[in-house]
Chain A
């Protein structure tokens, strides 16, 4: 059964490598710019950020779709991204964005939101999937409105708000924040590996919480673990890149179309596919229009045709 997926894995790997090469080879500095060491530094950092962000968002999207038994779930379903944006917004407005403080603020916002959602969703020390979704939606709406309010009160320009809410890979790194990012990258790989190890549980959870319990899954532990890991991962990524949409929702479905729904293939496939798509979208966002486009616009424009194509080829 593994053998028939071989071509698909190869295809995915090739796509990833091509996207990476394009990401490093293009940009305002041009191909010539690659010879100049500082530009290469920037490009490599961007590449790393793109791989981590794209991979994490897709893996979290896939895991949440399994846990919440909902094909429409994405990494932001539980409100974490809005919380990170709120944290980042507050940090910006309070003025001290030097160096590493902005991602830290964003992450703090994400963790506060995670706590809020957890507490809201908890009924007599049990956390149900439905509760998480509802609490997540409520908190997400609240945080989104507060972000806009904070930006207005803090008299930040619209450009900054758009930058955060639409996502970007153009984070300017300093010495401190690049060390921070290294920690984030390592933690992200650990988190994704952990989610991968829970593949069977996620498969079974996709058949319903009660059925999963009867099949020997500790649904409470699984739900809480996935929730916390997903929140931490998304919080870390969003605090660096803002809210990049679409990747976490669509890539898992594309990967499922190629490999079937088992999480032990969908999760690693999503990581590679998510990284590839995000890097490709970034290349387009930076180079097609002078001045660049917000990343989420491009991820949506790139993702939809892919999706339609594969959907039709299957029907």
Chain B
């Protein structure tokens, strides 16, 4: 149902685009999704942004924009007070907000890319909506080029990506992290899990014996992991291949920096020895 709504909304806007050119100063955009914020700036539409969330922290300029609240719970009143011409949001996080905005006849776009390919598609769409079609196309082309320049690796390394240390949580199949790892020549040892972010038993990590451990949370350093009782025999620990203090945003935000994330992963996995 909502998909239809978003498509309809897009159609209306695109149709509108055709009739009169949308000038930068006229369209007021609110972005409730940090990855969309990044896309907007990357295609030069940053100035249209009249409001974003506390979590919209990249690039630097995004920090200075008026905040309508938290990514998880933005304030409807603040959004509406800005008289936005277009609001970017995501599901299922902003379910109630979406219903309210549609009721109030505010144009919305639902961002929900589930794969790398979908990110490219979304970059195209978003740039079209704000009248920056050309810039969007060139950004996507650039991203594809960089992606294709990553070699296909002969050996896939077994990777354990830790999202939380208490409890031990990792990324399962169907998540971005999973796909990024695959593209970077790694194999997520918990990739077969049906849950998105399953809690795992430490023993399961030992049984999986990963070659590389990635710490995707800032709480711990690689010394902490190596110091865990019983983990000393894991290949990754024995070879010192634990990488800490990684910028999570590169791996969790389905935006332009996804490719940076893949490039970094490829480096960590295959070049940094």
Contact = CB atoms under 8 A, between A and B. Distances in A.
B219 A97 contact: yes
Interface stretch (A8-16, A36-44, A121-129, A257-265): A36-44
B23 interface: no
Contact of A159 (B72, B164, B204, B224): B164
A157 B167 contact: no
A157 B197 contact: yes
A170 B169 contact: no
A36 B167 CA distance: 24
A1 interface: no
A131 interface: no
A99 B227 CA distance: 8
A291 B195 contact: yes
Given A170-B167, A173-B229, A175-B227, A159 B218 contact: no
B138 interface: no
Nearest to A173: B229
Given A170-B201, A174-B229, A163 B220 contact: no
Interface in B201-239: 201-204, 206-207, 218-221, 224, 227-233
Interface residues of B, number: 31
Interface in A152-173: 152, 155, 157, 159-160, 163, 168, 170, 172-173
Interface residues of A, number: 38
A95 interface: yes
A27 interface: yes
Contacts of B202: 42, 170, 172
A152 to B, nearest CB: 8
Q: Give the one of B207, B218, B232 with max A CB within 10 A.
A: B207
A175 B231 CA distance: 11
Nearest to B226: A174
Given A38-B233, A160-B164, A160-B167, A28 B228 contact: no
Contact of A292 (B164, B201, B206): B201
Contacts of B204: 28-29
Contacts of A39: 203, 206-207, 230
A155 B218 CA distance: 13
A237 to B, nearest CB: 16
Contacts of A102: 166
Contacts of B218: 95
Interface of A: 27-30, 33, 36-39, 41-43, 45, 92, 95-99, 102, 152, 155, 157, 159-160, 163, 168, 170, 172-176, 178, 286, 290-292
7 contacts: A28-B203, A33-B207, A97-B165, A99-B224, A174-B227, A176-B227, A286-B201
Interface of B: 72, 164-169, 193, 195, 197-204, 206-207, 218-221, 224, 227-233
